[in-house]
Structure 1
Amino acid sequence: MASRDRETAPRQASRPVPVAAAPAPPEPPAEPMVQPAVEPEPESRWRLRALAALWLLLTAAGLAALVAGIVPWGPERLPEVGAVVVATTYVWALAARTGGRPVVFGALTLAVGIAVLVSDHEVLRNGAAVMTCAVSAILAVVATVPAVTARVAVREVLVAVLVAAGGGLATAGLEPTTAFLRFEYVTLAMALVGCLVVVYRLGAGLHGLGRRGLFIVVFGGVVLALTLAYGELLRRYGAASLVQGVDEGIVWLRERAGASPRPIVAVLGVPALFWGVHMRARRRQGWWVCAFGVAATTPIAQVLVDPDVPWPEAELALAYGVVVGLVLGFVLIRADLAFTGGRSTRGRRGRRAEEAAALRPEPSRIDPLL
């Protein structure tokens, strides 16, 4: 027994001691599933396109009635009816574009317009004209889409100009009797505040501003204040020779070119809109830049109400302002790309690569933004 135990003891001692298996490495976390964008159903898409076609038809009919009043042709009150139709379609489009209730606001606008036509009260007429002008200026801005290239940005500025011009015809068709200077300031203030409220929602509130957006808002406000007050400041604090030189230059330009550019349109409104739609394709702060585009769309919607300036001269001044503003906007875009993109955006190949990377999505022109 003892010998058997001695024989088995070395065997048991030589057996390897089982070692605990090393823990398996943790599995990497599963990648999050990216849900694709929900495409609208074909039926709802066709319904949306049908509504957009109906909107275009009604707006075109209203504008035709307004043009008939300018010719003149047709019944005397035909332009007023056209103004109410255009105001109703514009309010409908603005509510639909900003995620509101277009049926409610469109019906309310139509009811107010009918009340204005039936009562023919001066206060109601002036209020309807102010509302139509402000709504047209805001709609002209929010109707734009992001522009990847400068050429597309030019197109979007022209779209905004056309929308605001249609609103200008409707505003003039209501024949407001208030003083133009008061009308000008009230409509510009309403359009700017309304557009900032819309942009506040589109830009995710103040959190979407960032340092760049905050600087843009402050700088835009300063430029707006200076362009509005430059005439008064020049008359009060400018030297007599400087004031005389400026007046002579304006007169010379009007004699040679037929009109002088509107400063608020050329210096602030069009450059802000041009640069804003270009920036929206890359950064959310572009909406805050676009908000100052009402400095261009509001004067366009006001132009036919000014009794002291002939229509051809006023329209020519706005056209010059748009051209100058496009040039300034192009300079702003190039400066922005140079500072933010560095050397990678230089040259044609660098610009093409930067444009290919500008893929910030937004809804199409007929879809709601919210």
Structure 2
Amino acid sequence: MSSAPSRIPLEQRIGEFGASRAPLVIWFALVALATAALVCAMVPVGPDWLGTAGAIAIATAYTWGLAARTGGRPLVFAPLTLVCGVAAVASENDLLLAGAAVGTSAVAAVLGVMITLPSARTATAARECVIALCVAGVGAMATVGFEPAIHKERFEYVALGLAFVGAIVLVYRLGAGFHGLGRRGLVIVGIGAVVLAATLLYAELLRRYGSTGLVDQLLEWVAWSRDTLGAFPRPIETVLGVPALAYGCHMRARRRQGWWVCAFGVAATSPTATALANPAVSVTEAALSVVYGLVVGLVLGWLLIRLDLALTGQRGRRSRVAEQAAAVRPEPRRFEPLL
């Protein structure tokens, strides 16, 4: 005869819930206060130290969040980030400030990807892309909060490189290593790598060695978009980053190898995290550039998802609905450790 289950007192349950939620509540409060400080510094309103204080706080909170999300040691890396940030600001050394800024942008870019969830439907995949870019957008404010003296192109390349390496290292564990790719995943990752290399190489070659006529034509398109629409979308975000993140989240609901596709999502979050680094571009134009890249990239991501469903035999609406219902690969919740 089984005994009746013991009943936990209400006070004890409330205490346990509060204890488990306390770090998350503190983290959200820190991010919110730091973001408010950064916004005040950009207006500007308030004392001069708000920008640097907000930047240090976001760098520390994001490092804590990334370490907690990926099964790392937040109690080690977050205080280390805090000490490095304070030292860089106190030293007023351009090299240290630039290092703090590029490190913050890289952490924000990787956290934006890692905080996403698997998405059985296209609409939820779009939601995950928006969340990732919002996380990176706060990182962009923290990046300029350090007031670094930088070379724009070099800064963006270093930030993207660090973010991509960090994402690959984490995805190697989340995606069950290289053997978890499979033939299909290997082809997708190979295509993503080629697109990434081609986009960066083409932009650099065009900037340095492009013919005058071609460069002038492209500049005319950019100028028309900036005059008419207020901004021009970032090519790497539009063509690779957002489509890869949307498609990767969609694939993660079905196969673990979707994490490898999501790694290329830093091609969207990293340009977002460095969007404010160019002093010649206003905050409004930088924000519009990210939004336009998001919209066009989601269209490309939707096409990739539909192509994937068509190749796997999900052609009709009824079959697609059945496939979405069967896409139940579990992952931890958004603010729980992945490992």
TM-score w.r.t. the length of structure 2 is 0.92
Report the Cα offset of residue 240 of structure 1.
5.3
- Decide whether aligned partners of structure 1 residues 259 and 347 sit closer, same or farther in structure 2, where only a CA change above 3 A counts: same
2:253 is aligned to 281
- The structure with the larger Rg is 1
Rounded Cα–Cα distance in structure 2 between residues aligned with 1:231 and 1:86: 31
2:87 is aligned to 115
In structure 1, stretches of 5+ residues that fail to align are 1-40
Q: What amino acid is the match of 1:137?
A: A
Which of 108, 113, 116 is equivalent to 1:144?
Answer: 116
1:222 is aligned to 194
SS in structure 1 at match of 2:275: helix
C-alpha contact 2:89 2:146 (8 A) present in aligned 1: no
Q: What amino acid is the match of 1:227?
A: T
1:362 aligns with 2:331: yes
1:24 is aligned to none
Rounded Cα–Cα distance in structure 2 between residues aligned with 1:233 and 1:115: 38
- More displaced 10-residue stretch of structure 1: 143-152 or 305-314: 305-314
- Decide whether aligned partners of structure 1 residues 346 and 297 sit closer, same or farther in structure 2, where only a CA change above 3 A counts: same
Report the Cα offset of residue 163 of structure 1.
0.3
2:7 is aligned to none
Rounded Cα–Cα distance in structure 2 between residues aligned with 1:351 and 1:164: 32
1:158 aligns with 2:117: no
1:310 is aligned to 282
Report the Cα offset of residue 245 of structure 1.
3.0
1:101 aligns with 2:73: yes
Q: What amino acid is the match of 2:311?
A: F
1:180 is aligned to 152
Which of 279, 284, 297 is equivalent to 1:325?
Answer: 297
What is the CA deviation profile of residues 158-211 of structure 1, one whole-angstrom value per residue up to 9, with x for unaligned ones? 110110001111101011102111111111000000000000000111110111
Report the Cα offset of residue 214 of structure 1.
1.2
Report the Cα offset of residue 45 of structure 1.
5.8
Report 1 or 2 for greater relative contact order, CA contacts < 8 Å, sequence distance ≥ 6: 2
- More displaced 10-residue stretch of structure 1: 184-193 or 212-221: 212-221
TM-score w.r.t. the length of structure 1 is 0.84
SS in structure 2 at match of 1:197: helix
2:237 is aligned to 265
Report the Cα offset of residue 244 of structure 1.
3.7
Which of 8, 27, 31 is equivalent to 1:59?
Answer: 31
In structure 2, stretches of 5+ residues that fail to align are 1-11
Which of 168, 171, 184 is equivalent to 1:212?
Answer: 184
Matches within 5 A, 1:22-33: none
- More displaced 10-residue stretch of structure 1: 193-202 or 67-76: 67-76
Report the Cα offset of residue 251 of structure 1.
2.2
Report the Cα offset of residue 70 of structure 1.
1.1
What is the CA deviation profile of residues 62-84 of structure 1, one whole-angstrom value per residue up to 9, with x for unaligned ones? 11111111121111111101111
Rounded Cα–Cα distance in structure 1 between residues aligned with 2:284 and 2:311: 41
Give the superposed CA RMSD.
Answer: 1.8
Which of 336, 345, 348 is equivalent to 2:317?
Answer: 348
Rounded Cα–Cα distance in structure 1 between residues aligned with 2:146 and 2:167: 23
Q: What amino acid is the match of 1:122?
A: D
Aligned residue pair count: 327
What is the CA deviation profile of residues 130-158 of structure 1, one whole-angstrom value per residue up to 9, with x for unaligned ones? 11010000000000010111111111011
Rounded Cα–Cα distance in structure 2 between residues aligned with 1:369 and 1:354: 25
